[in-house]
Structure 1
């Protein structure tokens, strides 16, 4: 597997921009709140599921070297270690 062409900072920036500008309105529905989304920041394709590893692996089957950004739909982070997840308000 080759290394993504983008830096971690570029992946984060593109992922957040894609999510906020075009994906959020389609996926932030009551049935998806709290689920994980993994986004290929180069193509805009995404997978939604209950598990970060599963959504990432599904994206990697489509493109092995995909630059992926992941988030928890409706929240400020995927996981909270020693803290609390906060519900993101649109």
Structure 2
């Protein structure tokens, strides 16, 4: 968007708000020649990695009362894997 210097002077605050809202630069002209450009300030600081995924997870079901599933050591289902191994003797 282009605006001449006199119009910019008359509507300066409104034009600044418009540039901030639309994020489109504004070229200020004087006698038809571009003299200045008004651009919105971009956030120069990178976003923090801490908390960037806040409110993106979802809890399904009851996380406190979890049904017990026996471990392989409790059920004996892996006993065949260790049948040939002997425990090391302590010195």
> What is the TM-score of this pair, normalised by structure 2?
0.22
Q: Could you say which structure has the higher helix fraction?
A: 1
Please identify the structure whose Cα radius of gyration is greater: 2
TM-score, with normalisation over the residues of structure 1?
Answer: 0.22
